Structure 1
Amino acid sequence: MKLRRVIEASLLLAGGFVLHQIMPPLIAGMKPDMSLLMLFVVVLLYPEKKLTLLSGLVTGVISALTTTFPGGQVANMIDKPITSFSVLFMILLADHLKLPMKFKLGVIGVLGTIISGSIFLGAASMMVSLPQSFVVLFMSVVLPAALLNTGFLYAIYPIVIQIKKLLPEYDMGSEKEAA
C-alpha cells in the first residue's frame, strides 16, 4: 500500500465527512450517509484489499462519531467494512466482465448503498429499537440515499479522475537518483 494512495484516500474520506455533516436528516433524525459516496470513490480508484479495509474502518469511525441515530455507532463500525468489501467484489466482478464504467458506477452507487443501509438498520435493530419499522426506514432513508449516492457518484467520480490527472506523479526513487 503506497503512502500517496493512503493520503489521497484520507483526503477523499475527509470530503465524505464534510458531505455527511451538511446532509440534513430525512426521517426520524436519520440522514443518508454521504461518507459512503467517498468510500465508493476510494475503492473505485484503488481496488486493493488493504486500502479497502482501511478505508472501510476509517469511514466506519467517521460515521460512528457523527451519527445522530441511537446505537448507530456500533452499527456503522459493522456496516462500513462489510460494505467496502462488497463494493470491492462488485468492482472486481465488473472488471472481469469488462462492464463499462457508467454501468459500474450505477451498480456500485445503488447496491453499495442498499447493502450498507440494510446492514446498518439490521445491526441497529439488534441493539436498540428502531424509531420506525425496518421497512419504513429502508424505503424512506436507504432508497433515497441510494439514488442520491448514485447521482453524486456519477457527478463526483469524473471530477476526481480529472483532478488526479492534473496532479503530477511523484516518485521518491527518481528524485534520489536525480540528486
Structure 2
Amino acid sequence: MKLRKFIEAGLLLAGGFVLHQIMPPLIAGMKPDMSLLMLFVVILLYPERDLVLVSGLAAGMISALTTTFPGGQVANMIDKPLTAFTVLGIVLLAEKLTVLKQFKLRLGLIGALGTMVSGSLFLGTASLIVALPQSFAALFTAVVLPATLANTVGLYFVYPVVAKIKEQLPTTEVVSNDKAA
C-alpha cells in the first residue's frame, strides 16, 4: 500500500475532525459525528481493507478525543472501525449489484446506512458502559437521524469535490538514478 493513500486519508480525516469540532451538541451533550462523512469519502476513494482498518481506528480516536458524551470514548473506538468495515462491505456489494450501479444511489445508501449503523453501535455501546441520559429511541431520533440526513446530503456535495481534486493531483513516482556497477 502506498504511503500517499495513507497521507491523503489522514488529511481527509483531519477535515472530518474540523467538521466534528464545529458541530454543536443537539441533545444530552451528543452531537452528530460529521467526521463519519470524511471516513465514508476515504472508503469510497480507497476501498482497501488495510486502509479502511487504519482509517476506522483513526476516526475512532479522533471522535474519542473530541466527544462530549459520557462513555463516548470507548463507544467511538468500537463504533468507527466496525462502521468502516460495514461501509466497505456496502461499497464492495454495490459494485456487484446491478441495482446499485447508479453512483448517486450508492452514495445515498452509504451515507444513510453508514450513519445509522454508526449511531446504533455508538448508542448501544454507550448504553452498556454508562446509563444513557435519555432512551435509545429518543437519542436515535434526536441525534442519529439528523446526522444521517446531514451525512447523506454532505456526501453528495463533498465526495464529488474531493474526487475531482484527487483526480487533478499529480502522481509522483520515485525514480532512482542509482546504477549497479
TM-score exceeds 0.5 = yes
| Residues 116-135 of structure 1: pairs in structure 2 closer than 5 A | 116-135=118-137
Give the Cα separation in 2 of the matches to 1:72 and 1:136.
Answer: 17
1:45-69 alpha-carbon deviations (Å, 9 max, x no partner): 0000000000000000000000000
Of the three residues 89, 96, 109, the one matched with 2:111 is 109
Of the three residues 165, 168, 172, the one matched with 1:166 is 168
Task: Please name the residue that 2:81 is paired with.
Answer: 81
Task: Please name the residue that 1:24 is paired with.
Answer: 24
- Secondary structure of the structure 2 residue equivalent to 1:176: coil
1:140-174 alpha-carbon deviations (Å, 9 max, x no partner): 100110000000000000000110122101111xx
Task: Please name the residue that 1:52 is paired with.
Answer: 52
Whether 1:39 aligns to 2:19 is no
The alpha-carbon deviation at position 114 of structure 1 amounts to 0.1
1:35-85 alpha-carbon deviations (Å, 9 max, x no partner): 000000000000000000000000000000000000000000000000000
Give the Cα separation in 1 of the matches to 2:4 and 2:173.
Answer: 10
Supply the AA of the counterpart residue of 2:125: A
Task: Please name the residue that 2:158 is paired with.
Answer: 156
Give the Cα separation in 2 of the matches to 1:81 and 1:15.
Answer: 18
How big is the alpha-carbon RMSD for the aligned residues of Structure 1 and Structure 2?
Answer: 1.3
Give the Cα separation in 1 of the matches to 2:83 and 2:173.
Answer: 32
Deviating 4+ runs (over 3 angstroms): none
Residues 151 and 177 of structure 1: CA distance in aligned 2, closer, same or farther (over 3 Å): farther
Give the Cα separation in 2 of the matches to 1:101 and 1:119.
Answer: 26
In structure 2, the gaps of 5 or more residues are none
The alpha-carbon deviation at position 29 of structure 1 amounts to 1.2
Whether 1:7 aligns to 2:10 is no
Give the Cα separation in 1 of the matches to 2:43 and 2:49.
Answer: 9
Supply the AA of the counterpart residue of 1:157: Y
Task: Please name the residue that 2:67 is paired with.
Answer: 67
* Identity percentage of aligned residues: 67
Instruction: Tell me the number of residue pairs that the alignment of Structure 1 and Structure 2 aligns.
Output: 177
1:101-139 alpha-carbon deviations (Å, 9 max, x no partner): 101100000000000000000000000011110000000
Give the Cα separation in 2 of the matches to 1:8 and 1:87.
Answer: 19
Give the Cα separation in 2 of the matches to 1:147 and 1:171.
Answer: 40
The alpha-carbon deviation at position 178 of structure 1 amounts to 10
Task: Please name the residue that 1:145 is paired with.
Answer: 147
